[in-house]
Amino acid sequence: MELNLKDALLLLGLVQGGIVIYATLRRKPPNILAYRFFGLILLTLTLSTLGAFRTYLLNDYLHSIQSRLLLQFFPYFTFLLLGPALYFYQRTLLEPSFRLQTRDKRHFLPVLLELVPFLTAILAALLFTLNGISLDQALSLVDVLGELELYLLLPRILSISVYLWLSWKVLHSNRSKTPETMFGWLRTLLVIFTVLNISYGFITLVLFSPWVYVLLDDFPYSLAYLVHFPIVGLIYFLTLKFMLNQIPWGSQGSIIPDLVKKAERLRQLMQEEKLYRDPDLKLKQLSLQAGMSEKSISFILNQHFKTGFNDFVNGYRVAEAIEKIQNQKLQHLTLEGIAAEVGFSSRSTFYRAFKKVTQKLPTDYMD
């Protein structure tokens, strides 16, 4: 068995991926979930590289039908794990209060589909050893399981596509309260996986086309190189980022001294100085008034108040609006007048914010 440059690159990717997976398992709180999901992403990529390594170097050494069954159908390609892992990795970074619930674990159940060929292969290898099935039957089963693995490409591509869409949606919905470094990292990650998914979707179409042997010379080896070297490149990229400490890990990645004290300062500016009454109030103005950077304020709002800038300000506006609506001495004021006094620039903005904060309409608070 000779190792050429391509095989050495695969092997190095395997080693790097394995080391970082181990490192993520060793990490302790805080934000332990982010490390676990990052490790799971790397695990799916590393296992697929192991599958490629087996294809290139071990196929000629699978002399017995048992070794062929067990090694050919080992679950190297657990890509039904990749989409959920990427999605929940994002959520652990973007939503500091996120905790994995029982219902969330159901997202990982489809991976059982990818275990079917391997579990069937184990049973077949056992039956063949015990003379329960013939060699011809075992070889026929190898062909059937190989075809099943081919058709598993379809749910894999579909699953990753769905979870990429959900991940993009979560990222953009948290844009206003996400530090730029964090947002940039997650956007880069999603762009890479989106490009890979589109590319592999195209390759999947080729695989199901009648011209596969014409388009891909020396199939399936040419396909394995085409598919797996971008994955190895991604493993290098992720492990390098991890080892150089260039990955932001959410709320625990940066610590603001005196966070509670600074949070109290923001509360004071709202409650006592009533900055929210300014309809043109922006994060930059609040930053100048509070004597803090915009990133620090976004971080405090995200971690301490569990909200974004707009919702933080509108919460105070709505609270005062309710007081004025229920104040018998202010019955002469219209809802539009009250909205303007507390800082809303338009009726539609007032109603939308009111509904979001209270789940009710302003008229519901009128006698």
Q: Are residues 37 and 126 in the same domain?
A: yes
200, 235, 252: which is the final residue of a domain?
252
Q: How far apart are CA 301 and CA 102, in angstroms?
A: 28
Question: What's the confidence (pLDDT) of residue 51?
Answer: 80
Pair of tokens at residue 232: 């190895």
Q: Are residues 49 and 156 in the same domain?
A: yes
Region for residue 21 given its phi and psi (left: phi exceeds 0; alpha: psi -120 to 50; beta: otherwise): alpha
Q: Is the four-CA dihedral 211, 217, 223, 229 of positive or negative sign?
A: negative
Q: Are residues 125 and 150 in the same domain?
A: yes
Q: Are residues 297 and 184 in the same domain?
A: no
> How many independent structural domains does the chain possess?
2
Given a contact cutoff of 8 angstroms between Cβ atoms, the answer to whether 178 and 253 are in contact is no
Question: What's the confidence (pLDDT) of residue 113?
Answer: 92
Which one has a higher pLDDT value, 164 or 255?
164
Q: Are residues 242 and 318 in the same domain?
A: no
Which region among 61-65, 129-133, 234-238 has the lowest average model confidence (pLDDT)?
A: 61-65
Tell me, what CATH number does 84's domain have? 1.20.1070
Q: Amino acid identity, residue 152?
A: L
> Which residues span the domain enclosing 209?
5-252
pLDDT in tens, 290-349: 888 887 888 788 777 878 888 999 999 989 888 888 887 777 788 888 889 889 888 888
Q: Are residues 266 and 356 in the same domain?
A: yes
Q: How far apart are CA 54 and CA 63, in angstroms?
A: 14
Q: Are residues 50 and 66 in the same domain?
A: yes
Nearest to 36 by CA among 98, 126, 110, 119: 98
Q: Are residues 149 and 34 in the same domain?
A: yes
Q: Are residues 75 and 100 in the same domain?
A: yes
Share of residues in the chain with pLDDT > 70 (%): 87
Question: What's the confidence (pLDDT) of residue 253?
Answer: 39
pTM over 0.75: no
Distances (CA, A) of 171 to 87, 164, 166, 178, 351: 10, 10, 9, 9, 26
